[in-house]
Amino acid sequence: MKRLLLLLLAGAGLWLAACSSLTPSASTSLSDRLVAPGGVSTLLDTARIAEAVDTVPNRHGFVTGRAGVPIFWRAFDPGQYGVRYHYLAQQHDNGLPLQTGLQLAVPHPFRPQAPRGTVVLLHGWMMNGDAMLPWSMQLAQAGYRVVTIDLRNHGHSGAGPAGYGTFESDDVVDVIGALRQRGEVSGPLYLFGVSYGAATALFTADKLGDQVAGVVAMESFANAGDAIRSMIPHLMSLQPTGWKAQALAAYGRWRYGGQDIDQVIAAASQRLDLDLDRVDVARALADTQACVLLLHGQDDQHVRVEQGRRLASSSPRVHYIEMRGEDHITLPLRVDLLGGVVDDWLARDDRAGGACPAPEVPGQADRMAMQAVQVQVQVPPRG
């Protein structure tokens, strides 16, 4: 058995890592960081991840959609990969790549199986599709064809204005359409997103209507403007443990700390021609026809749990799991706790007639908090 110790963060979406992982640049405007990412998160070891991906059979390519941005995709066939996953608890404020243990024993030759459906994985800000490898392998071994997509401005994909899920979802719709014509999309279609990718998945599901059977959304924001207003102060207040991370955090506070958040959001909105305060993921979720499994870490300070609860209360087609002791960084890494939950939820076929399956609830979930959200569910009027 070949052990792959991957140093990666599974798409955890530190989309404003400017405050803790910036290298100096000519710009002193925080709005620049909202318009487009300034690099790759320090939590991601891209070289090690690429080396690991190269050991797994896959197909990949580009689709250029309506916006003219080339979007990179990668597909993994269902089959036996000898997947074993071990969650490694660790600090994530020291500026070093996170470790997640994934063991694979890929047979040679690899024999793909017929897919029971297709799952499209969407990563977080300053990440890429390959960072979702643990979830890719978990789902592929469960019988699904898995397609990862590098969102615009990330990974191998081209550059374009950030849309906080709005523009990106158009790209995803175009990629799915092209891959469906090539036969890469087979059976029921599911979307799985983390953070920025979760918001993108929910916008995509709304646009694709009944083409999407279900959405798994981890750590999504409900409204882009609200998320920015909570995230920036949190990142500015971080006191990391590593000396390098401390220096970068101090640099970020010096460069960006005195800027007015409302003005920053207004400037970014003008440059993007997109009102960030009107990027309403909750509204898209309320309108989607797909079943939705929503997961949020109770200790999330990047996208606070209140945003997850707001999303959960926007539609009766949502099943919500709120995990005690998990945050924006750790929750996407808990394949050990949530892999079986997601597999079971995707496998259920009782969606006929409008019913959405209830997931298994891990013991680490806060059932009282989840029940409190459930009684608040209201369906906003369409129009």
- Tens-digit pLDDT profile for the chain (383 aa)? 333 333 333 333 333 343 333 333 444 578 888 888 767 787 787 888 888 899 999 999 999 999 999 999 999 999 999 999 988 777 666 666 777 778 888 999 999 999 999 999 999 998 999 999 999 999 999 999 999 999 999 999 999 999 999 999 999 999 999 999 999 999 999 999 999 999 999 999 999 999 999 999 999 999 999 999 988 877 777 767 777 767 777 777 767 677 889 999 999 999 999 999 999 999 999 999 999 999 999 999 899 999 999 999 999 999 999 999 999 999 999 999 999 999 999 998 655 556 899 999 999 999 999 999 987 765 544 44
Rounded to whole angstroms, the Cα distance separating 125 from 12 reads 8
Strand locations in 169-279 (E)? 189-194, 212-218
Question: Shortest CA distance to 298 belongs to which of 318, 321, 325?
Answer: 325
Helices 46-53 & 133-141 angle (0-180, nearest 10): 20
The CA R_g of the chain, rounded to the nearest whole Å, is 19
pLDDT score for 79? 97
Angle in degrees, CA 180, 46, 184, rounded to 5: 10
Measured torsion, CA atoms of residues 129, 46, 336, 21, in degrees rounded to the nearest 10: -100
| Cβ–Cβ under 8 Å, residues 34 and 228 | yes
- Give the Cα separation of 189 and 186 in Å (integer): 7
Distance CA 77, CA 182 (A): 14
Strand pairing of 291-297 and 318-323? parallel
H-run or E-run covering 137: helix 133-141
**3-state DSSP call for residue 219?**
coil
d(CA 325, CA 365): 9
